Structure 1
């Protein structure tokens, strides 16, 4: 399936924790759950392959050794589908069909509590409906349906159902949800279709956006656009869309080889104006035609009409076999209204898909895994453009995989 192929693209083969559950049953640990007091959560991989969760109050300075300061992830990896909220960590174990909560105990990052779910071949997108209510969308390969599960994270009670998104048709045998966004009491779902084999896949030439009322999930209309393909991406892995201060919704389409695998199409930014219920036909920010001159994936809003796009640098990798390990990613500051780009003078970054940009109190924090210059958190002043190094990671750190705020503000 498409996510099996994409697993070859990224850092290492994807494996999640194993749990054994009867349908509808819950498993709980008798130990007291660790309640985080720090401000930030960081997920790092060392050069020896070991992975650690660490928590810190400052990203602006200092040095940290994940192996000494963090909790080892047992078993690893969890970095792709981890969800962080209010000092707690969650993910879905697709192999055993369970929603899992984790904790830090005895210096290790381990499973705490789990509850069975059904029908999730993949996790595509998640949204917080309230402080304690989480909604996850995923494609069920066997049933050829999009499913949702709503979880009350206080007691891990769940409800599940079907989202009426049309199944793959014709030669298409997979579906990917690239964004899910609530706008004025409606749920917008961006998706596309794929044709896949065991060792390759291609994406159809159309972006679809379903508009459904909520909570009934009745289809209202479907928007189509062919200016690019593969809208957004799996939002547990990195950001691909956002709503600005004035209520406009932006998303990036990713036809590069690491997602859409339709490289003749341009990477583009799309817009849905507030209250319009239409993709803006007069707006298309063609990233590939800009100074970037290639494809991009991650897309983070930093405020005041500006965003950051993480882009590939041509000629530095030979193919998917070395895409994740070769430093070849640039960070560009983009002006959404003027449709201009400006490269941030950061070292080239590595790692195909990362949660690596965080905005807080007027400062943009960017993690960079460079080849020869080490792993750092960089601080960007978006008003002046000034960049400086912040928190340094020990030299035996290979990747900073995730940077997140432990508690939403």
Structure 2
């Protein structure tokens, strides 16, 4: 190659570099604080990052260049995202803190004291009112709540919920879902038994208590022994939703990664509109339909949902459950108890993740693939077409969550 050719190639590479650089920059450009989506990344070196972007359809981002590196003493993935802000319970500071990304850094905006509280569930009750439901620590026996006006980060009211505390061999509990039903709240939960330093088991029963709202006094409690571990900690992964007709669907998750009662069935259950008990005639047995346990469920409209199910033949136990690619995604019809399609996606890794968003009949699904890389895939609900969207590259090891910022 002569010197003129080399020089031409040199400038061509510079031009292409600039073109692709602008293309990637356009994903995160725009007025700060006005981005549409956030992506939470765990890096290969153990560092964690938050990235904000205007779209998920294409392009390539790297967390160390395009994101804000997080101080993991300040925040982890159990974060609540709304209207451009991030809300996180900092236990060391015993405060609920409201953050925003500014100048590629996570910056504290406001805070309010919140001590001896472990969040199990959050619900936006309209406007800027946030209801947090959780357990009093350090013993995790008493169900507590706090209601917050997030614009001012001021408590509205707080106290105990009238939920029976664990007794006998069951020494702790978990709250799986909270649903407002007019002047009442429905709370789904179960009880656990610690049987070793890193081992536990779960009651065979799903409990649903109806509470007067906002007094939080008990009206009644019903038991359902068809499965156990309703929902999950929804700051980490979604497992319940209300459809357009007002019916409420929740997943019971007895697999080893949550309930540790793998002999029971993962199932979708339903509380009909204006009812306070699980429909005794409805039980969508996912374990039977798919052949495996599942741990997450996201509504995609029109009586359909995407569920994330493990492949029990591909992992050895809890020790490699998070790191081994063995998760599959299915489209299901919750109204008619049908598995419609196994999505032709690479095997995913990461035990629990917030990994599905819906926009304009496109389901965006983040997948951590050891063979194909870390991508946000696009699933067209009208045509069933699957295509790759944005790639999370560079230092990315896991996409832990994707969220709508506004």
Same fold (TM over 0.5): yes
User: Does residue 140 of structure 1 match 2:136?
Assistant: yes
Query: Match of 1:286?
Result: 285
Q: 1:394 & 1:346 partners in 2: Cα distance?
A: 18
1:113 and 1:190, CA in 2 relative to 1: closer, same or farther beyond 3 A? same
Query: Match of 1:130?
Result: 126
Q: Deviations over 1:283-342 (max 9, x none)?
A: 10001111x201001110100010011000122111111111111100011111221212
SS at match of 1:321: helix
What is the 5 A alignment of 1:65-144? 65-75=62-72, 78-120=75-117, 122-141=118-137, 142=139, 144=141
Paired residues of 2:90 and 2:96 also in contact (CA < 8 A): yes
User: Does residue 307 of structure 1 match 2:312?
Assistant: no
Query: Match of 2:158?
Result: 160
Q: Counting helix residues as a fraction of each chain, which structure ranks higher?
A: 2
What is the deviation of 1:199? 1.9
What is the 5 A alignment of 1:229-308? 229-290=228-289, 292-308=290-306
Q: 2:271 & 2:183 partners in 1: Cα distance?
A: 15
Q: Deviations over 1:223-269 (max 9, x none)?
A: 21111110000001111101111111100000011100000001011
Higher relative contact order (CA 8 A, sep 6+): 1
What is the deviation of 1:143? 7.5
Query: Match of 1:11?
Result: none
What is the 5 A alignment of 1:4-403? 36-75=33-72, 78-120=75-117, 122-141=118-137, 142=139, 144-158=141-155, 159-196=157-194, 197-290=196-289, 292-341=290-339, 342-403=341-402
Q: 1:345 & 1:295 partners in 2: Cα distance?
A: 19
Paired residues of 1:79 and 1:401 also in contact (CA < 8 A): no
Q: Deviations over 1:364-402 (max 9, x none)?
A: 110000011001111111122111111111143111111
Q: 1:143 & 1:383 partners in 2: Cα distance?
A: 45
Query: Match of 1:12?
Result: none
Query: Match of 2:28?
Result: none
Deviates further, 109-118 or 67-76: 109-118
Paired residues of 2:379 and 2:386 also in contact (CA < 8 A): yes
Q: 2:355 & 2:310 partners in 1: Cα distance?
A: 15
Q: Deviations over 1:141-194 (max 9, x none)?
A: 448311111111122111321111100011111010000111233211000000
Q: 1:107 & 1:289 partners in 2: Cα distance?
A: 47
Deviates further, 369-378 or 181-190: 181-190
Q: 1:138 & 1:316 partners in 2: Cα distance?
A: 34
SS at match of 2:119: coil
- Aligned alpha-carbon RMSD (Å): 1.6
Gaps of 5+ in 2: 1-30
Paired residues of 2:200 and 2:260 also in contact (CA < 8 A): yes
Q: Deviations over 1:14-42 (max 9, x none)?
A: xxxxxxxxxxxxxxxxxxxx961111111
Alignment length (residue pairs): 372
SS at match of 1:266: coil
Paired residues of 1:74 and 1:108 also in contact (CA < 8 A): no
Q: 2:169 & 2:145 partners in 1: Cα distance?
A: 25
TM-score relative to the length of structure 2? 0.88
Q: 2:142 & 2:284 partners in 1: Cα distance?
A: 32
